Amino acid sequence: MPNTNHHIPDRNSSRPDGEDNCRSLETVEVAVALPVFGTYTYRVPDPLRRFAAAGCRVLVPFGRRRVTGFILGSGQTTDGREIKPILDVLDELPLFPESMIAFFRWTADYYVHPLGEVIKCALPGGLNRRDRTVAALTEDGRRALSGTAATGREKAILRLLSEKDRSLRELTAAPLKPEITAAACRALADCGWLILKTELSGGRIGPKRERYVSAVSGVSRAELTRQRAKIMGVLDTAGEIPLKQLTVAVPTTLATVGALERSGHLVRTYKTVYRDPFGEAVTPDTAPILNAEQDAAVNRILQALGGGFATYLLAGVTGSGKTEVYMRLAAEVIRRGLAVLILIPEIALITQMERRFRARFGEQVAVLHSGLNAGERYDQWIRILRGEVAIAIGARSAIFAPFANLGLLVVDEEHDASYKQEGSLRYNARDLSVVRAKLANTVALLGSATPSMESCHNAVTHKFQEVTLDRRVERRPLPEITVIDLRLSRDQRGVHRYITPQLREAMEMTLQHGEQVLLFLNRRGFATFPVCAACGEAVRCKHCDITLTFHQQRNLYRCHYCGFSLAAADGCDRCGSLKIKHLGMGTEKVEAGVGKLFPQARVARMDRDTTARRGALVQLLKDLRRHRIDILVGTQMVAKGHDFPGITLVGIICADLSLSFPDFRAGERTFQLLAQVSGRAGRGERPGRVILQTYNPDHFSILAAREQDFRTFYAKEIPHRRALNYPPFARMIHIKIAGKDRDLTATHARFIGDTCRQLCRQHFRQPPAVDVMGPIEAALPRVAGRYRWQILLKGSDSARLHRLAEMLVLGQPAVFGKREVHVALDVDPFSML
Partner DNA sequence: AGCACGCCGACT
Partner DNA sequence: GTCGGCGTGCTC
* Binding residues vs DNA (CB under 7 A): 34-36, 38, 40-43, 60-65, 78, 81-84, 130-133, 168-169, 181-184, 187, 813-814, 817-820
Q: How far is the CB of 813 from DNA (least distance, A)?
A: 4
List Cβ neighbours of 426 (8 Å cut-off, separation of 6 or more): 111, 420, 824, 825, 826, 827, 829
Quick one: 84 or 386, whose CB is closer to DNA?
A: 84
**Segment (H or E) for 220:** none
Quick one: 131 or 515, whose CB is closer to DNA?
A: 131
Q: How far is the CB of 732 from DNA (least distance, A)?
A: 24
**Segment (H or E) for 731:** strand 731-739
List Cβ neighbours of 439 (8 Å cut-off, separation of 6 or more): 99, 102, 103, 106
Q: How far is the CB of 89 from DNA (least distance, A)?
A: 15
The strand ranges marked E within 369-464 are 391-394, 406-412, 443-448
Q: How far is the CB of 775 from DNA (least distance, A)?
A: 19
Q: How far is the CB of 184 from DNA (least distance, A)?
A: 6
List Cβ neighbours of 5 (8 Å cut-off, separation of 6 or more): 208, 210, 242, 273, 274, 275, 276
Quick one: 321 or 753, whose CB is closer to DNA?
A: 753
Integer angstrom CA distances of residue 510 from 198, 226, 446, 707: 68, 66, 35, 22
Per-residue burial over 427-461, b if 16 or more Cβ lie within 10 Å, else e, is bbbbbbbbbbbbbbebbbbbbbbbbbbbbbbbbee
- Note whether 100 and 402 are within 8 A (CB): yes
DSSP bridge pairs for 770: 795
Q: How far is the CB of 430 from DNA (least distance, A)?
A: 27
Q: Which among 645, 737, 715, 719 has a CA at the least distance from the CA of 682?
A: 645
Quick one: 60 or 649, whose CB is closer to DNA?
A: 60
Q: How far is the CB of 824 from DNA (least distance, A)?
A: 10
Task: Give the pairing of strands 166-167 and 266-273.
Answer: unpaired
DSSP bridge pairs for 783: 786
Quick one: 4 or 78, whose CB is closer to DNA?
A: 78
Quick one: 399 or 749, whose CB is closer to DNA?
A: 749
Q: How far is the CB of 811 from DNA (least distance, A)?
A: 10
Quick one: 42 or 400, whose CB is closer to DNA?
A: 42
Q: How far is the CB of 760 from DNA (least distance, A)?
A: 22
Query: Phi and psi dihedrals of 208, rounded to 5?
Result: -90, 135
- Note whether 795 and 769 are within 8 A (CB): yes
- Note whether 604 and 638 are within 8 A (CB): no
- Note whether 67 and 102 are within 8 A (CB): no
Q: How far is the CB of 212 from DNA (least distance, A)?
A: 40
- Residue 286 CB coordination number (10 Å): 6
**Segment (H or E) for 225:** none
Report the alpha-carbon distance of residue 673 to residue 693 in Å, rounded. 14
- Residue 312 CB coordination number (10 Å): 23
Report the alpha-carbon distance of residue 611 to residue 582 in Å, rounded. 24
Q: How far is the CB of 399 from DNA (least distance, A)?
A: 23
Report the alpha-carbon distance of residue 297 to residue 615 in Å, rounded. 36
Quick one: 113 or 415, whose CB is closer to DNA?
A: 113
Q: How far is the CB of 798 from DNA (least distance, A)?
A: 26
Query: Phi and psi dihedrals of 228, rounded to 5?
Result: -70, -35
Helix (H, G, I), strand (E, B) or coil at 44: coil
Q: How far is the CB of 84 from DNA (least distance, A)?
A: 3
